[in-house]
Structure 1
Amino acid sequence: MKLTIYILLTGLLAIACNSTKPVSKGDTETAIINESENDTTEYELIIFDTRYDSFLVTQPPKDFYSNEYYRTWNIQYVTEWNIRHNNPMRYGDFFETQIDYSPHIDYGIDLNYQLYNYFLFIEKEYGIVLVRRGKTAR
């Protein structure tokens, strides 16, 4: 049985709120996670933003951190993304689609690495900080 799950991570709009750079209509960005079940389940993250590929090659290799490290951060990023998705009056429509990322599924290091770096890309390219990193105030 083959299952395919399509998840649109985001559609960037020209009037995206919380963006430090103007986004043109040609910069529509979509990410898709495909799941196909043969002998093993494999996931693939597809992001339609040419700048992401350029950004990704500048990042440390995927084995720089563990799969668990990427997974832990992705859970935090996805949680915050979905909170913002559910509050468009407060955060605008930059977070147009909800991300269906389950902490109970092992997506593998490849997808977790790409998704983790996607969130870093959003922070760097659009100035949107989803999760504050570093020391917390006491």
Structure 2
Amino acid sequence: MFLILVVIAASCAAPKDSTKSVVLKAENDSTQKDTTEVVALDPGFESWYAMHDNKANYRSKQYYHNWNVRYVREWNLKASTYPHAQLFNGQINYDFSEDYPLEVEHKLFMYFQFVEHKLGIPILTGGSRPQPVF
């Protein structure tokens, strides 16, 4: 039996004919151990990620988790306030206490980098920012 839990669903404003979103899902199957993966529904993200995913440049899981907490908080704040809600359509249900695998934390972090750097939509305002990892 296959169980899918949608843990995170977020979307970025896009032209009416395209959808930009990312989903973090946990899969539980009796034939394999539990897995969690980030599924980006934005058609441009996977190719961008493939070009910028370099395991040699990975930082610690805690590094990505700390930035993801900040990004998710800021994203959710913007998703709930006008005029930002038009760009950040939908809140992210990211469990800050969950121990996600490094690959999940990294890919989610990279999605936020994609939104900021490739799409040009700032998420974090003021304060420190992560150094680009690509």
Q: CA RMSD in A?
A: 2.2
Identify, as 1 or 2, the structure richer in strand: 2
- Answering whether residue 124 of structure 2 is matched by residue 133 of structure 1, we say no
Gap runs ≥5 in structure 1: 15-24
CA contact (8 A) 1:12 1:27 kept: no
User: For residues 62 and 73 of structure 1, do their structure 2 counterparts lie closer, same or farther at Cα, with a shift above 3 Å needed?
Assistant: farther
Distance 1:31 1:83 in 2: 17
Gap runs ≥5 in structure 2: none
Deviation at 1:69, TM superposition (A): 0.7
**Relative contact order, higher structure (CA 8 A, sep 6+):** 1
CA contact (8 A) 1:62 1:109 kept: no
The alignment covers a number of residue pairs equal to 123
Deviation at 1:108, TM superposition (A): 0.7
User: For residues 114 and 130 of structure 1, do their structure 2 counterparts lie closer, same or farther at Cα, with a shift above 3 Å needed?
Assistant: same
TM-score normalised according to structure 2 size:
0.78
Distance 2:106 2:35 in 1: 14
- Superposed, 1:38-77 pairs within 5 Å as 38=29, 40-62=33-55, 64-77=58-71
